[in-house]
């Protein structure tokens, strides 16, 4: 069974986006990021109309009735972008930040200084990850306003926040990581690092007791503008984006990021999942967005160039899969594929994310009849390339450089 081929531009896969030098145009500064084709004959340019993020606790107006906030995060990302949409009687909040007391304090500053004395009418969370839902309960309780999410995102957040058997301490998790080629003591180290998540805000917070459901194609009328819900999948099960055609703005959450690639992983909770197929199809669907929209992402800076970025993301994953195929001419475990995808030594928590990404790539390759999987007597899965056309498609000396490490997004 083969996937429908994606309609990409001709040529070889794109490299990761890289920020170029700043240039002045008219009265504002634009930053350009260049994505280089490995053949050197194709150039993609993303344009950043804003030089830097707002200071925490402050906001910047991006368009009439659309304001941009940032909240701090730990790690290499160091921030999440949040947005405010003005309505006649108050404000809508898009994503909320981590469940840390320091973030709640920053929100109190926003309530006092940035809302013009008006209340929050509703909170929209694009998806269920902790940096997006961490303050949802605080804000909805403070203003007694509803939470809006897609059904799959809300209930997955509720499931994770309510506890239960953690995959890193169950036989399900042990079998999953054994199949991936990991030693028996890996889960012990992972458990220690998992226990640190509460201190950095990355554990799942308590969720609001109820929600109002968003579905693909829904239209929210906010401040005299229509915002259409656009659902993607792969990074999370039912990720909601918002598109306002009148303002030419697309709030992308983690579905489209300009510099980094969102984590797309298989987890022990659904070991046979194929999230990369969902991700690639979602990116392909989003190519229908107007070329001139301003993309408001959850991380990095707002940018223009949505179609080029989508094509670059698709091509990046196609390149990673081809590199995996080339590596699997001799049978290989998922653990063996990590140097193909990532350049640096990984700690236990990074290893968990990296393995999830590697398995996501091999599952899509299995779906395309490019790899076969065999369970060996040692309990490890090994993957072997089976496409007779691989020799023609291969270019082992001309791939994207491995990423430094998986990003906690």
Residue-level pLDDT at 188:
74
Q: pLDDT at residue 27 above 80?
A: no
Query: What is the bridge-based pairing of β-strands 219-222 and 249-253?
Result: unpaired
Task: Give the mean pLDDT of 140-144.
Answer: 98
Residue with structure tokens 């458990």? 191
- On the question of pLDDT at 201 being above 80, the answer is no
pLDDT band at 349 (very low <50, low <70, confident <90, very high): confident
For residue 256, give the nearest of 72, 43, 49, 409 by alpha carbon.
409
pLDDT higher than 70, residue 408? no
pTM comes to 0.87
Q: Determine phi and psi for 276, rounding to 5 degrees.
A: -70, -30
Rg (CA), the chain: 21
What is residue 14's DSSP assignment?
B
* CB 368, CB 390: distance < 8 Å: no
Q: How far is CA 303 from CA 15, 132, 265, in A?
A: 18, 20, 26
pLDDT band at 204 (very low <50, low <70, confident <90, very high): confident
H/E stretch holding 135 reads none
Q: Tokens 């830097």, residue? A: 52
Which tokens go with 218? 């829904």
pLDDT value for 59: 98
Percentage with pLDDT > 70 across the chain: 83
Domains of the chain listed by start with CATH number: 18-165+197-317 (3.60.15.10)
pLDDT band of 77, cuts 50, 70, 90: confident
| Model pLDDT for residues 168-186, shown as the tens digit of each residue | 668 898 899 999 999 877 8
CA separation for the pair 254, 275 (Å, rounded): 15
Average pLDDT over residues 5-32: 30
Q: Which region among 10-14, 90-94, 375-379 has the lowest average model confidence (pLDDT)?
A: 10-14
Over residues 356-376, mean pLDDT: 98
6 or 194: which leads in pLDDT: 194
Provide the mean pLDDT of the chain: 86
Q: Answer whether residue 362 shows pLDDT above 90.
A: yes
Q: Report the run of H or E that residue 358 belongs to, with start and end.
A: helix 348-367
Chain-centroid distance, C-alpha 230: 15
Q: Which residue has the higher pLDDT, 44 or 9?
A: 44
Q: What does DSSP assign to residue 210? A: -
Tokens matching residue 63 = 């368009």
Q: Which two tokens stand for residue 269?
A: 């909770």
Is residue 211 within 8 Å of residue 161, measured between CB atoms? no
For the stretch 124-140, pLDDT in tens is 999 999 999 999 999 99
pLDDT of residue 166: 59
Q: Tens digits of per-residue pLDDT, 100-130? A: 999 999 999 999 999 999 999 999 999 999 9
Q: In what order do the strands lie in the sheet with 249-253?
A: 219-222, 225-232, 239-244, 249-253, 294-297
* Of 302 and 37, the one with more pLDDT: 302
The mean pLDDT of 198-202, rounded to a whole number, is 56
The position carrying tokens 């070329």 is: 291
Which residues, including other chains, have CB under 8 Å from residue 306's CB and lie 6 or more apart? 250, 256, 286, 289, 291, 293, 295
Place of tokens 């199809």: 281
Work out the pLDDT band at 189, boundaries 50, 70, 90.
confident
């Amino acid at each position: 069974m083969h996937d429908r081929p994606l309609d990409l531009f001709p040529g070889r896969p794109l490299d990761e986006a890289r920020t170029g030098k700043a240039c002045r145009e008219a009265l504002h500064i634009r930053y350009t990021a260049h994505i280089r084709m490995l053949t050197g004959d194709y150039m993609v340019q993303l344009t950043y109309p804003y030089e830097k993020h707002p200071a925490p606790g402050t906001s910047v107006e991006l368009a009439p009735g659309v304001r941009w906030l940032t909240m701090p995060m730990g790690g290499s990302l160091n921030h999440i972008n949040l947005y405010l949409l003005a309505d006649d009687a108050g404000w809508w909040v898009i994503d909320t930040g981590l469940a840390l007391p320091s973030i709640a304090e920053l929100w109190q500053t926003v309530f006092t200084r940035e809302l013009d004395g008006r209340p929050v009418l509703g909170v929209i969370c694009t998806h269920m990850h902790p940096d997006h839902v961490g303050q949802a309960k605080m804000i909805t309780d403070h203003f007694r306003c509803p939470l809006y999410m897609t059904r799959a995102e809300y209930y997955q957040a509720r499931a994770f926040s309510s506890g239960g058997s953690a995959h890193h301490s169950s036989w399900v998790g042990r079998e999953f990581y054994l199949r991936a080629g990991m030693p028996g003591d890996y889960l012990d180290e992972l458990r220690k690092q998992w226990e640190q998540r509460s201190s950095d805000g990355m554990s799942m917070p308590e969720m609001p007791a109820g929600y109002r459901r968003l579905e693909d194609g829904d239209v929210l009328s906010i401040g005299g503008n229509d915002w259409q819900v656009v659902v993607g999948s792969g990074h999370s099960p039912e990720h909601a984006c918002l598109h306002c055609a009148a303002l030419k703005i697309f709030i992308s959450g983690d579905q489209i990021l300009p510099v980094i690639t969102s984590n797309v992983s298989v987890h022990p909770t659904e070991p046979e999942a194929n999230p990369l197929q969902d991700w690639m199809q979602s990116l392909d669907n989003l190519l229908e967005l107007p070329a001139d929209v301003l993309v408001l992402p959850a991380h990095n800076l707002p940018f223009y160039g949505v179609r080029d970025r989508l094509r670059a993301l698709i091509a990046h994953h196609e390149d990673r899969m081809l590199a995996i195929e080339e590596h699997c001419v001799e049978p290989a475990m998922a653990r063996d594929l990590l140097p193909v995808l990532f350049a640096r030594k990984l700690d236990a928590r990074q290893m968990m994310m990296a393995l999830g990404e590697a398995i996501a790539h091999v599952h899509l390759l299995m779906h395309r009849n490019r790899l076969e999987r065999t369970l060996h007597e040692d309990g490890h899965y090994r993957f072997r390339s089976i496409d007779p056309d691989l020799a023609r498609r291969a270019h082992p000396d001309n791939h994207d450089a491995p990423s430094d490490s998986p990003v906690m997004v």
